[in-house]
Structure 1
Amino acid sequence: MIPAFRTRSRTGSHAKRIMTAILCLVAAISFTQVKFSTPAQAATSDYWSVVRWDITGLGDGMDRNAERNYRSMIRQVRELSGSAIGANGLMRTTEQTERYIEVQVVDFNDRVNNHRISLYLRLDNLYLDGFTIVGHNYLFQDAPAILTTRFANHYPGVNHLFQRTPYRSTYGALANAQDRGNQHFNGRALGTQIIALQDFTPQNWNDRRQALAAIIGATAEAARFGWIENRIGLGIGQNGQLEGGRLLDHLGPFGAELENNWEDLSELVRRQQDGRGVMRPINIDGRTYHNIREIQFGVGGGTPAIGALLTHGSAR
């Protein structure tokens, strides 16, 4: 699917046959040993990979199928970007640069055009560099030009012109911590932001920055942090995550600060696994994480488990 481009012999001796069989057996055993000694999966080396996010029914609210589709998309993004470096969802992104994951956002309830949005995430860090809205391509002010080259190579013969937005892809340019923390992620609220993004034009792009921050949270940040994936996934499927007797569908101060501490958490994991340097504790909204175990499982009832963590491959 092009990204959002619709309107939107039986020879030889007996001994040779025996020797061939032995060699095949040795090869099979060797392959099995290699297979089990490497991670269950490894990041792709392709320059361009495509993932489909089926949002059908998401905007109706409390849709378990929409939640399954969402989690499937997040899992695929993680597996394309990273490789397992431990148990319980601990991963690390590739360090291969200039590669992209295209997330095609499709809604099969849309009878006119079920594919209006494509998002372009950098493979090695999951930064959102650009996107296509119904045939119109956009590039953030700080995005590398290699995106346009990769796009043109993958989709020859279509519109390759990208307009640069007047702002960067940083949260400082899109939405502050309070606005990101207060963003609701139940199905209806997330659906509203997706609809707002479908209407993105140069005339209103300043008014669509909150929608962009929300979509980054729901894709890149959720792929990085299992905590964010769960909060948003449960928001889509069950109207929220039960916490303290309440259903919460927003990230709050903890989630917003978590988004800003990806590099520090990645560095802590790298240093602990390498057995070198000082592992500086990471404070997130008053909760302190000292090691991998605390990151994955939390500390008591006050410091939540971050769970699955896709760390940054370049962190040292």
Structure 2
Amino acid sequence: MNRGHLLTEQINQASVNLDQLSPLEIVDLFNQEDQKTLDAIASSRQEIAQTIEITAQQLGKGGRLFYIGAGTSGRLGVLDAAECPPTFCTPPTMVQGILAGGKEALVKSSEALEDRREDGAKAMIDHNISNLDVVIGITAGGTTPYVHGALQEAKKRGAIAVAMSCVPKEQVSIPADIDIRLLTGAEILAGSTRLKAGTVTKMALNIISTGVMVQLGKVYGNRMIDVSVTNSKLEDRALRIISDLTGLDREKAQNLLSASGSKVKLALLMHWTNTSKAEAETLLARNNGNLRQAINN
């Protein structure tokens, strides 16, 4: 299959003399080209917002979010999924990344596996994808058979299928309910989609996962109140969140955090409603874990 017509494979006229540029000129050129990632996000704002809304609805019903891709695209999905448990205290099963080739492909090139359409479909079967789930297939050039196979099987099983690519719809059709096209143009190094395409993909995934968690009540203001307190850095962050939002000094914040079982959201609710841990847990449960709703009710 000739892919030379794809936007991600075309020649960037701004970098035709790349091998003749000084290090500073290379940095300036990258900086100039990377500005296009912001425009690409802005142009896809409606589709990204739609993905946030429907994913939050599905996860609220007990569904799961899956990212699936090959090479750089798959690795970025795995990265975003891996960051959700420590940031939002989500169970590891809620947001998952599936990479062609599995864990070994995280550190070793496995691009040949992207041609196996049947493997993408099998991944959906192996993970028991259902109509409660959302599957985001990531393919910079839009043609990856592994991703196409996964999205087709996901749709067949009733899941919400989302495509994320960096080529126009008229160049490649992708089977999806929501079609996100992040058009950043030709790469500085022709065809190297780990550059602008990779950058804009990471940006979009950041927005989606964070937006979903906001909708699920895992953020209060702009604080990560469901942060998992698993090391000294995160304990320090938890204490600062409690102190900043309650006005308590650090010692009292520490006592409150300990009384809550190291759960920031619960500690805040206990303080603001003057309730015990058990009472606060009941109140949170009645409000689906949403702190602001629990306070107002």
TM range (shorter): under 0.3
Compare the two structures and name the one with the higher helix fraction.
Answer: 2
- Normalised to the residue count of structure 2, the TM-score between the two structures is 0.28
Compare the two structures and name the one with the higher strand fraction.
Answer: 1
